[in-house]
Every structure is written in structure tokens, then in C-alpha cells.
Amino acid sequence: MDKRTVRVLVLACLGLLLAAGLALRLGAVPLWQAPAAARRILLFVRVPRLLAAALAGAALSAAGLIIQTVLANPLAGPSILGINAGAGLFAAAAMALLPAALFPVPLAAFAGALCSILLVFAVARTTGASRITIVLAGVAISSLMTAGLHTLNVLFPEVLAQLRDFQTGGFAGVAQKQLLPAGILIGLGLAAALLFAGELDILGLGEETAGALGLHVKRWRLLFLALAAALAGAAVSFAGLVSFVGLIVPHAVRLLARGGGKRLHLALCALLGAAFLILCDTAARTFFAPYELPVGILIAYLGAPFFLWLLLRNKRARHA
């Protein structure tokens, strides 16, 4: 590992620690004004939110990098391709049909995410797998899944309040016990992605080149899409429909670590994605205190212009 790589990883770790420190210190209620309640606020409010934001940021960012590499499309991401919406639909269905269950929600979110990404991939392969075709297929699948989510609002009005918070995306009310099953799935998914980063590097060279190097392209593509679905689905199961994290962070990582392999990029996505979402959540709950803006809305304000900029940049590159 060269010095530049070590320096980038150290800076990413320091950024994550700084973001965590700010998240624990800042809030609508300054801890020094409520010393008697400070311990309860930390343990039952800020620490769970910190863990939730870190897990969701790491998972969505790593999923975005995997999807962009496998599909060879820098415009791809869990929210753009309808993966978040699919995970949200299946997770909401689990909430409505199995309200007392704990483990089915992350598993249902994984199933929804996997269904969405496989549908997008199948449509794109059938109609011509260009970058724009994949994005348009994702928009269509996302609209379909979102319509299903709205249907649940009508059929199961008793979970309406839950779904309203779920649709905007955020960490208000997240408890540590909710994070356990999703955290295990995210940990296993990140470990598997790092373990198979070499194969992801080869797959990123292109289908023909990867096949010539002896990689079973279809098998590994399906494996990595399943990993991305597991990561995104687990994050959505407790964070709701948080968009654009899986699009913004991988691009930032490529700028910071040009020439690095996918193992380095995945590690940086996990660290910087966690720091980014922690900072966004901290800003969302402090800038408008005593009111709280759901973090999904704040990130949409950041992500939509970024996506438009990517579209314009890719259009200029094609015509250059």
C-alpha cells in the first residue's frame, strides 16, 4: 500500500471521526443545557441516529460503486435505478403485513431491491443496454414501485404515519434493536464486496475483456448485483427512501483515489459515505431547530443538481 493510499484512508477515517463527534455534540437540545438528561439523550437518541446514518451511508455508497462498475454506467445508483423504491415497497409490505416481526423487514427490503435491479437489467438488455436506456428503465421501475408504496397507504391506513416517514427518509425514532438485523446484513455485504474486489476490478474492464481473462461474467455480475441489493435493501429497511447517496459518494471517491483498485474504492465509499450521511443528518436536525428536516429531503436538494450535472457532462463527453 503506497503512501498516498495510506494518507487518503487516514483522512477518510479522521473525517468519519469528526462527523461522529459533531453528530454527538450538536442537536436541538445542547447537552450542557440539560446535564441531567444528557446521558439519556446520547444513549437513546444521538448514538442510535449516528449508527443508523453510518450504516446507511456506508451501505448505499458501496452499493452505488458496485452498480456503477457492474453496469459500466456512472449515472447508475440505488435510487436512480429504482432499487431503493423496490426495497421500500417490500419493506413497507412487511411492516403492514407483519407489524410485530423484526427480521422480515430487512430481508423483505433485500428481496425488493434484488427484484428491482434484475428487472432494470433485464429490460435494458432486451432493449439495448446503453447508459440512457438503463437510467430510463430505472425511472420506470422506480415509478412502478413507488405506485405500489402509495397503494399500501390506501389499503393499510393504520401504517400511514410509518410510511410517511419512510417515504421521505430519515433516522428520527430509530432504535438500536432495529439496527441489529440490518447491521449484520450490511456488515456481511461489505465484507463480501471487499473479499471479491479483485473480481470486481476485472469485471470493470468490460464484458469481453473480463471473459477473455477467464472470469465467468454472468455469474459474477449476478453475485455483485445481489450484494448491491443486499446493501441497499438493508439500508432502506431502517433509513427509508434516502436518495442519491449511492450516486454522489462513488464519484467523490474516484476523484480522491484515481488509479486505485476497487478494494480501496469500496473502503473509501464505506468511510466517506458514513461521514457524508452523518453530516447531512446532523445538518438536517440542527439547521432548522426546533423543527427537523428529514435527511432524505436535504440530500435530494444536493443530489438532483449533481445528477443533472452528470447528465450534462456525459452529453458533452459524447459530443467532444
| 317, pLDDT greater than 60 | no
The 10s digit of each residue's pLDDT in 98-135 is: 765 555 777 888 888 888 888 887 887 777 656 677 77
Mean pLDDT, rounded, of the chain: 84
pLDDT of residue 314: 66
Confidence of residue 207 (pLDDT cuts 50, 70, 90): confident
1 domain-assigned = no
Structural contact between residues 214 and 82, judged by C-beta atoms closer than 8 angstroms: no
d(CA 159, CA 152): 9
Q: Containing domain of residue 58, as a range?
A: 49-319
20 domain-assigned = no
38 domain-assigned = no
27 domain-assigned = no
308 domain-assigned = yes
229 domain-assigned = yes
pLDDT of residue 163: 67
Give how many domains the chain has, as a whole number. 1
Residue 173, phi-psi category: left (phi > 0), alpha (psi -120 to 50), beta (remainder): left
pLDDT of residue 159: 63
Q: CATH number of the domain at 243, please.
A: 1.10.3470.10
The 10s digit of each residue's pLDDT in 34-80 is: 566 777 778 778 889 999 999 999 999 999 999 999 888 887 888 88
Structural contact between residues 158 and 285, judged by C-beta atoms closer than 8 angstroms: no
pLDDT of residue 162: 64
Confidence of residue 250 (pLDDT cuts 50, 70, 90): very high
pLDDT of residue 20: 93
